Amino acid sequence: MNVTSDEVQAESQASSRLRATMMAARLSFQWFGITRTLSSDQKSQAAESFGAEGSFLNAGKRLLDTRHRRYRAVTAVKSRTQAYWRSVSLPFPEPGIRLIRQDSVDSFQQQLTRFQGQLREAVQSLQDQYVELKQSAQRRLGDLYNESDYPASLLGLFDVGWDFPSVEPPQHLRQLSPELYEEECRRVSARFEDAVALAEQAFVEELSSLVGHLTERLSGHDDGKPKIFRDTAVGNLRDFFERFQSLNVRSNDQLEDLVQQCQATVGGVQPQSLRDDQSLRRRVATELSAVQSVLDGLLVDRPRRRIVRAAK
């Protein structure tokens, strides 16, 4: 597909806005690994029961019961932290880095501090059951249990951290090597152009998934009866509208029009009304189907062709 001059200009403007209003953020976790690889002798012993060679067998053991409610509470905090980070940020074509709004850095810091506190509380609760968890592991692992696999305490072995790395060209290069500085400026500019494409692709994919799911639930039937859907099928779309409004880099007028169409279709509609009013259900399904068909074209066409450089 050929790119028009208007599209190039719109993308350049979006890249400049992104660079002027966003900043890089990086999330990291310190996490105690609860699996261990079996020793060569243990793998050979396990392989014998299958008539196999130990060198061709991959086998491991789990140190703690991951289904225990207190361990699940620890991992739940991690999941919530990751979900929050993704909900308030845009992708960036460097591993581990996403972009957040500059004017939201204080709220970002405060929320992650709260998550950090929740994680430490959950780990403390897990530590309170550590002796029992080890005893349970000893019963379940049998001869595979090894006391040396277990640290004296779990405190300090789980944590969340974050920082704000610079993705701009180092200013000292301006004096040391103007040519290298200009090269870095071009590289960073290209990174933000790619970030615009990544953001657009992420929005299109998420909207397509949400619209497709709700449309399928509204238009499909099970045994001749309308399919059941959860309130979240509508609520998740509304959450998307808020996030799009907050993070949209205004790079694609067509995408913005589609979001507005979706908002007009489901904005004031209550989930129960869709269950009770079949004519409303059909109308919403028809209008969302029309949006879905356009989104399918965007998925095949625009984002995929522009993301080539970022994927390298």
pLDDT tens track of the chain, all 312 residues? 455 666 667 677 889 999 999 999 999 999 999 999 888 888 888 778 888 887 787 888 999 999 999 999 999 999 999 999 999 999 999 999 999 999 999 999 999 999 999 999 999 999 999 999 999 999 999 999 999 999 999 999 999 999 999 999 988 988 889 899 999 999 999 999 999 999 999 999 999 999 999 999 998 777 777 888 899 999 999 999 999 999 988 888 899 999 999 999 998 899 999 999 999 999 999 999 999 999 998 887 654 444 444 433
| Last residue of one domain, picked from the residues 130, 163, 196 | 163
Do 154 and 181 share a domain, yes or no? no
Do 79 and 186 share a domain, yes or no? no
Do 83 and 191 share a domain, yes or no? no
Cα distance between residue 210 and residue 233, in whole Å: 7
Q: Which pLDDT belongs to residue 1?
A: 47
CB 298 within 8 A of CB 254: yes
| Last residue of one domain, picked from the residues 163, 198, 233 | 163
Do 213 and 132 share a domain, yes or no? no
User: Tokens for 224?
Assistant: 């001749």
Does residue 170 form part of some domain? no
Give the residue from 48, 67, 64 showing the smallest Cα distance to 56. 48
Number of domains comprising the chain:
2
Positive or negative: CA dihedral 171, 176, 178, 184: negative
Do 42 and 94 share a domain, yes or no? yes
Do 156 and 181 share a domain, yes or no? no
Checking DSSP bridges between strand 35-37 and strand 60-62, what pairing results, if any?
antiparallel
Domain span at residue 107 reads 21-163
